[in-house]
A and B are shown apart, each in its own frame.
Chain A
Amino acid sequence: MKTILDKQQLHLTILRLAHQLMENNIDLKDVVFIGIQPRGVQVGVRLMESIQQLSAGEKPQYGILDITFYRDDVRDELHVASTTEIAFSIEGKKVILIDDVLYTGRTIRAALDALQDFGRPQKVELCVLVDRRFNRELPIQPDYCGKAIDTVISQKVKVEWDKEAVVLY
């Protein structure tokens, strides 16, 4: 087991990502943030708290998306679905997808498919806390990245919110 980000580093990384997101999206009115179920949701909540502080209390639009029904391995392994809650229109908006770990890229592919069923965004970007950069199976890259790491397939990366740390097993 190896710690990739400890409590303080995790806090700083979230704060940096929030600054970068603000830098590129000064006007929050045309931007919506969507956390991907299950583990992107918590990252999203932290980012939204930081962004709200940086933008003098203006609350960013935040939704959560479950991609279970859009997976490409539905019939190999059964996954239990979680809640989707997108209480606003994404039509013509800039959508920023948020997840914890970017690995094969298949989750993001499914999320892009799922987004289409809610409308046609003007642009979609991707924000991840950890990028396992040499394990991609699809041509998908993050626009905002907390930390890029090199791993092999047998390893596991986990964000442990109770201990506030990112660890590699």
Chain B
Amino acid sequence: MQLSTKHLLGIKDLSREDISLILSTATQFKEVLQRPVKKVPSLRDVTVVNLFYENSTRTRISFELAEKRLGADTINFSASGSSVAKGETLLDTVNNILSMKVDMVVMRHSASGAPHFLAKHIPAAIINAGDGINEHPTQALLDAFSITEKLGSLEGKKIVLIGDIMHSRVALSNIYLLTKMGAEVMVAGPPTLIPKYIAEALNVKVEYDIRRALQWCDVANVLRIQLERQNQVLFSSLREYNLAYGVSKGLLDSLKKEIVIMHPGPINRGVEIDSDVADGNQSIILNQVENGVAVRMAALYLLAGKSNA
């Protein structure tokens, strides 16, 4: 049994079986991470470059830790402080790195489709760690892993994605993954941040009333407002956004049921989510981060076998 794809560019390309294989392998890696020695030698002959053209804390540390715990050698590259500032193209940069015998590329880029472009031109296996407003597959996988851990399965579960759906790659990857695995998905937020025709195009429910959305769901995945990607005014102020769409303790307590709160990070406290919700006992935000390492180990492990072609 193996993955149907050579790269992990997006959840869109994965089959249901691929997703199940990654999640079940991640379960085994999570057990490895509880051992006295949290490390296995599976990828000891593999070198991975972490190519980050855009800022990151969690994803970058998580990938680096996952690579090290699999015994791989790692190189970290960030665009700032490199020859990118001198005008080197993406393809030149990557080809130069690969000529130093690197087997896999983990890549984040602000341009949607950058890893897909790279996949057409280089032999190494590529893992997309977020490309523009397109996809962030490992985030969706770790979200799915965390939901499964908490609720037992994805099938039939009701999950609402709240906030900046328009500019969020986490939202798109989550929608692909959750609908493929048989969950019900709703997107909620201000009309200006939800793409038109998303309901028809991606088979999701749309809700503009945050209370109704929370009342409907089992799990609420709260997304950050991607101010850096918004080039026009889409809502009047962060304070007003918080009042209309922020997830607050009062709002949660007024629901008739207990729901699970998730957030992919980084959190803007007091904007999309209030501190007492993010730190409250319904929140699994830090479990998501913990599971991120196991899920990324699974993705790296399953793709490494394909990088020696």
Interface residues of A (CB under 8 A from B): 66, 68-71, 74-78, 80-84, 113-114, 116-119
Tell me whether B304 and A74 are in contact (CB under 8 A): yes
Taking a contact as CB atoms closer than 8 A, the residue among A71, A76, A78 that contacts B1 in the complex is A78
Taking a contact as CB atoms closer than 8 A, the residue among B25, B46, B305 that contacts A77 in the complex is B305
Tell me whether B1 and A118 are in contact (CB under 8 A): no
Q: Which residues of B contact A80 (CB under 8 A)?
A: 1, 21, 24-25
Q: How far is the CB of A149 from chain B (nearest CB, A)?
A: 30
Q: Which residues of B contact A75 (CB under 8 A)?
A: 45-46, 304-305, 307-308
Q: How large is the interface on B (under 10, 10 to 19, 20 to 34, 35 or more residues)?
A: 20 to 34
| 12 A–B contacts, CB within 8 A, in A order | A66-B28, A68-B28, A69-B32, A69-B70, A70-B41, A71-B42, A80-B1, A80-B24, A81-B25, A114-B40, A117-B39, A118-B35
Nearest A residue to B26 via CB reads: A81
Tell me whether A117 and B305 are in contact (CB under 8 A): no
Most buried by B among A66, A70, A74, A117: A74
Tell me whether A119 and B40 are in contact (CB under 8 A): no
Tell me whether A78 and B305 are in contact (CB under 8 A): yes
Q: Is the interface of B mostly helix, strand, loop or mixed?
A: loop
Q: In the complex, A116 Cα to B37 Cα: how many Å?
A: 8
Q: Which residues of B contact A119 (CB under 8 A)?
A: 36
Interface residues of B (CB under 8 A from A): 1-2, 21, 24-25, 28-29, 31-32, 35-37, 39-43, 45-46, 70, 301-302, 304-305, 307-308
Q: Which residues of A contact B40 (CB under 8 A)?
A: 69-70, 114, 117
Taking a contact as CB atoms closer than 8 A, the residue among B36, B301, B304 that contacts A118 in the complex is B36
Taking a contact as CB atoms closer than 8 A, the residue among B28, B35, B302 that contacts A78 in the complex is B302
Known contacts being A75-B45, A80-B1, A117-B39, is A69 close to B301, with CB within 8 Å?
yes
Taking a contact as CB atoms closer than 8 A, the residue among B41, B45, B46, B305 that contacts A113 in the complex is B41
Q: In the complex, A71 Cα to B45 Cα: how many Å?
A: 12
Q: Which residues of B contact A70 (CB under 8 A)?
A: 40-42
Q: Which residues of B contact A114 (CB under 8 A)?
A: 40
